[in-house]
Amino acid sequence: MRIALIGTGNLATHLVKAFEKSNDIDCVQWVGRKTTPHLELSRTPYFTQFQKSIDTDVCLVAVSDDQITHVAHQLKDIDILVAHTAGAISTNALEPIIRKGVFYPLQSFLQNTIVNWDDIPICIEATNRSDEHLLKTLANSLSKQVHTITQSQRLHLHAAAVFANNFCNHLLGISQNLTEKSGLPFAILEPLIRETFERSFSQSTLSVQTGPAKRNDLKTQDKHLALLSEKEVELYRSLSQTIFNTHNT
């Protein structure tokens, strides 16, 4: 399969790396605004504009949400399948493209990390059945977990990911601060954190909730609050209140 990839951010770069390793996929053009591509990815032909003259099956648009429509307008005359990679953006954002789709990998991508594509769920959507099949073939060549989902499901997943990744990450940061402040290694919390996340895969978190917020233990909460910064205090109160309400109303 011959792919065009538009974008030079973390996801785009990880996709180019994956395509360079793949036997099934040939990334025939990598397109970005930067005048020079990443040096270490020199095997993939890089351009600052989409090349209509290069035979291409699918064009992936891995740019920031607010650039998708702009890119689509630049591509308006092409008749290949164009899929964006965003979790919370409708395929309508790809207007005036006719053959529209979504190729959404459910993972948080950082620069300079090794990505194991095998395990990354890829959620796809397309406006017609044959394009869906095309995206599925592309996704299957990278990952063992490919899901055809609706726009509404994708948005729910994206919101769920914000809670599980962005928000939990922030709370783990406050944990890191607290252990650091007391001169202890964060590793001491590792078994507890592993248990927390592992439990969520096998049980309803509602049934395993514990702690001072659930049992309305205000004495303990006050001791914790005394250790926290102003903005952490607000967050602690807000989370404790919601947990209390969830389990006591």
- Interacting stretch for a second copy, rule CB under 8 A, among 1-9, 50-58, 130-138, 177-185? 177-185
CB of 73 to a second copy, least distance (A): 19
149 makes contact with a second copy (CB under 8 A): yes
CB of 92 to a second copy, least distance (A): 13
231 makes contact with a second copy (CB under 8 A): yes
Q: Which of 60, 65, 86, 78 is nearest to 141 (CA)?
A: 60
191 makes contact with a second copy (CB under 8 A): yes
Instruction: Tell me which of 54, 76, 156, 248 binds a second copy, using CB under 8 A.
Output: 156
70 makes contact with a second copy (CB under 8 A): no
Q: Measured between alpha carbons, how far is 37 from 24 in angstroms, rounded to an integer? A: 23
Compare residues 54 and 159 and give the one whose CB is closer to a second copy: 159
212 makes contact with a second copy (CB under 8 A): yes
Residue 212: φ, ψ to 5°? -65, -30
217 makes contact with a second copy (CB under 8 A): yes
Contact 199, 191 (CB under 8 A): no
**DSSP code, position 5:** E
- Interacting stretch for a second copy, rule CB under 8 A, among 43-51, 95-103, 129-137, 190-198? 190-198
Q: Which of 201, 205, 1, 9 is nearest to 105 (CA)?
A: 9
CB of 4 to a second copy, least distance (A): 26
**DSSP code, position 40:** G
Compare residues 55 and 119 and give the one whose CB is closer to a second copy: 119
Cross-strand pairs, 82: 59, 100
**Chain-centre distance for alpha carbon 244:** 30
- The residue with tokens 């914000």 is 162
